[in-house]
Chain A
Amino acid sequence: MNVLQTSIDALALGAVYALMAVGIGLVFGVLRLVNFAYGQLIMAGAYTLAFTGSWGDPASIAVCVAVVVTLSVAMELLAFRRLRGASPATMLAATFAISFLLQSIALLRYSFANKPIGDSVGTLSGLNRSLRLGSAQIQWITIVAIVVALVVLAALGLFLNRTSIGLQMRAAAADFRTARMLGVGANTVILLAFVISGLLAAITAVIFVVQTPLVTPDFALRDTIIVLVGIVVGGIDRLVTATLGGFFIGVATGVLGDTLPSGSRVYLPSAVFALVILVLLLRPRGLFAIFGRAPAERV
C-alpha cells in the first residue's frame, strides 16, 4: 500500500462525488426534490460521448454537455414542474420512474442488436497515462479531476455569492415562499438549478468515462446512490454541508477500499452503512449541520 497513491486517488473520488453532490443539492435546495435520476443524466452523457467519439474530443464533449443539459431541463419541464407541491413520495417515485425509463431506453440498444451489454468510449484517453511521483503512479485524469472539481466549485461559489441571480437561488433555497414574495421568479430559479445541475452531470460524465471507458445502462447508478447517502449524512438542508457529505463519503470509500485487507473487504459496505445509521441516529440533521439551529424532529 502506498499512502500518497491512496490519498490522491481517494481525494479525486471525493472531488467528483462533491461535484455530483452539488448537482443534486442545488435542485434539492430550490425544489425539495431528491433527484434519483441524476445518475441517468451522467449515463446519457457517457452514451453521447460513446456515440460521438469519432467527431474529435472537443466536439464530442460539447455535444455531451448540450444533451445532458437539455435532458435535465426536459425533466423539469415535462415532469417536475407539474408535480410542484405534490407529496415528497410522489416526487421521489417520479424520479424512480424517469430513472427506469432512461435505463430501459439504454437497454433497448442491446436487445435490438443482440450484442453484449456495454459500449467502449475513447474520449480523452490520453489522460489515462500515468505520472511517476516518488513510488506512486498517479494517472493524469486523477489530477485533472481534482483540479476541475476545485475550479468548478470555486466558480459556482462566486456565482452564488457575487451575482444577483445566484443570490436569488440562495434565497429560494433558504425559504422558497418568502423569496417568491420578495420577487424571486420561481420558474427562473428552478430552471437555472436544473441547467447547472445538468452541466455538473456532463462534467462528471466526462471524468467517469475516462476512468471507466465502458458505458452500460447502469453507468454511475451506484455512485449516485452513494452520493445521495453522503448528502443526507452530511446534511441536505444546506449546499455546503451536502457537498462536504459527498466529498467525505467519496474519500472514505476510496481510502477504505484501498486499505482494508481483501478478506474483510467484502463486508466493507456493511461497515460503511452501519456507520451511516449511527451518524443519522446521533445527528439526524447531518454530520456537518451547525450547532444551535433547530434540531431535527425526533420521535
Chain B
Amino acid sequence: MRRLNASLQLLAPCALVVLVGLGGRATTAGTQTEVWNALVNVAIVVGLYVFVGNSGVLSFGQISFVAVGAFAAGLLTVDPTVKPNVLPGLWPFLAHHSIGNVPSLLLAAALGGVFAFLVGLPLMRLSGLAAGIATFAVLEITHNVLRNWTKIGPGATTLALVPGTTTFAQATLGALIAVVVAFCYQQSRFGRQLRATREDPAAARAAGIDIHRQRLLAFTLSGALCGFAGGLLVHLLGSIDTEQVYLDLTFLTLAMLVVGGAQSLFGAVVGALGVSLLDTFLGNAENTVHVLGLRLHLPGGSRLVGVAAAMLVVLVLRPSGLTGGREFSLRLPRRLRAPRAQAPEPR
C-alpha cells in the first residue's frame, strides 16, 4: 500500500503533464505555443518548489537562474555564421561557437546549478525575510549585468534567431524530467532532512541535521532545474530579452506555486498548469470561444484581470493552495474520512 501510494505520488503529476501535452497537440497552432509554455512553466515552478517548497524559505532569486540558463542556451545555439553580425560586442569565444539543442539544455542546467551554488554558499545562512530580500538582490544584479554587459549577451536588445525546438516532445519531456528529479530528491534522505528543518529547525538541528548544507543542496538543485527550464523557455520563444525573465515572471511563478500548494510537488504542477491554462483559455475568450454551447466573448485585456482575480480567490478560500500542500493520494484527507473505531495509524 505504501509503495502504491509513493508511485501514485509520482504518477499523478506525470500523468497531468502528459495529458496536457497530448491535449496541446489537438489544438490550433496559436494555442499550442501557449500549452507548451504552460509545460515550461511547470518546469520552472517545479524548480522553484525544490527549494521553496521543501525548505519553507522564500526565494525571489530563482528566476535569475532561469535567465542565465535561457541566455546561455540561446546564445550558443544561434547560427555562428550570423552571430557576429547581430551581436558585434560578443567575446570571440561566444561569437564563433555553437552547440546542439540537447547540449545547450544540459549546459543551461549546469550553469544554473553552479551559479546557484556560488550564490547560495553565503546566502543560505539567512532565514525569513532577510533571505527573501537577499535572493531578490541576486535577481536584480543578474538582470542588471545581463542587460548592460554586451560581451556576454545581447544587452538591452532582444536575442533573436534561437532555434524553436521546444514543441510537444521537448516541452512534455522537459516538464517530466523536472518532475521526476524533484520527486527523487524529495524521497531521498536529503529531501526528508530539509523538510524536517522546515517543520521545526530546532528539533532538526538537535537530530543532527546541518541546515545550511541541506538548504544549499536544494538551492543548487533548484538552480539547475531552473537553468534547464530557462533553456526550454528560450527554445520555445525563439527570442528573449532580459525583461521576460525578471520581476513579472518571478512574482507569477511564486504565485503559481502558492496557488497550487507550496508544500507538495503535486501542488507545484497543479498550480503551474492551472494558472497557465486559465490564462490561455481567457486569452482565447478574448477572441470568442464556445463553452458548453454558450458563446463567450471577453473584452480585450481582461485575461490578466481574470487570472489575478482567480489567484486571489483561490488563496482566500484555500490558503494552503488548491492541493492543500498534500501529494496526490487516493485516500481522502483526514477531515473528510469517516472516523474509524480504534484503527491504529499504520506505521
Binding site for B on A (CB under 8 A): 34, 78-79, 82-83, 86-90, 92-94, 96-101, 103-105, 107-108, 110-112, 225, 228-229, 232-233, 236, 266-267, 269-270, 273-274, 276-277, 280-281, 284-285, 296-299
- Closest residue on chain B to residue A296 by CB atoms: B130
Interface size class of B (residues with CB under 8 A): 35 or more
A298 near B254 with CB under 8 A, answer: no
A232 to B129, CA, bound (A): 7
Residues of chain A lying within 8 A (CB to CB) of residue B124? 299
B301 near A112 with CB under 8 A, answer: yes
**Cβ distance B139 to chain A, nearest Cβ, rounded Å:** 9
**Cβ distance A69 to chain B, nearest Cβ, rounded Å:** 20
Residues of chain B lying within 8 A (CB to CB) of residue A296? 127-128, 130
A225 to B259, CA, bound (A): 22
A34 near B129 with CB under 8 A, answer: yes
Residues of chain A lying within 8 A (CB to CB) of residue B211? 299
A83 to B319, CA, bound (A): 7
B320 near A87 with CB under 8 A, answer: yes
Given A100-B251, A299-B124, are A236 and B315 also a contact pair (CB < 8 Å)?
A: no
The B229-270 residues at the A interface (CB cut-off 8 A) are 247, 251-252, 254-255, 257-259, 262
The B279-310 residues at the A interface (CB cut-off 8 A) are 299-302, 304-305, 307-309
A111 near B300 with CB under 8 A, answer: yes
- Closest residue on chain B to residue A236 by CB atoms: B129
A105 to B128, CA, bound (A): 32
* B78 interface residue (CB < 8 Å to A): no
Of the candidates A90, A96, A101, A108, the one whose C-beta lies within 8 Å of that of B251 is: A96
A90 to B123, CA, bound (A): 23
* B15 interface residue (CB < 8 Å to A): no
Of the candidates B125, B148, B257, the one whose C-beta lies within 8 Å of that of A281 is: B125
Residues of chain B lying within 8 A (CB to CB) of residue A108? 299, 301-302, 305
Those 9 A-B pairs whose CB atoms lie nearest each other, nearest first: A111-B301, A104-B304, A93-B258, A101-B308, A86-B319, A100-B308, A273-B137, A299-B211, A97-B312
Give 12 A-B contacts (CB < 8 Å), ordered by A residue: A34-B129, A87-B320, A89-B56, A89-B254, A104-B305, A274-B141, A280-B133, A280-B134, A285-B130, A297-B201, A299-B127, A299-B215
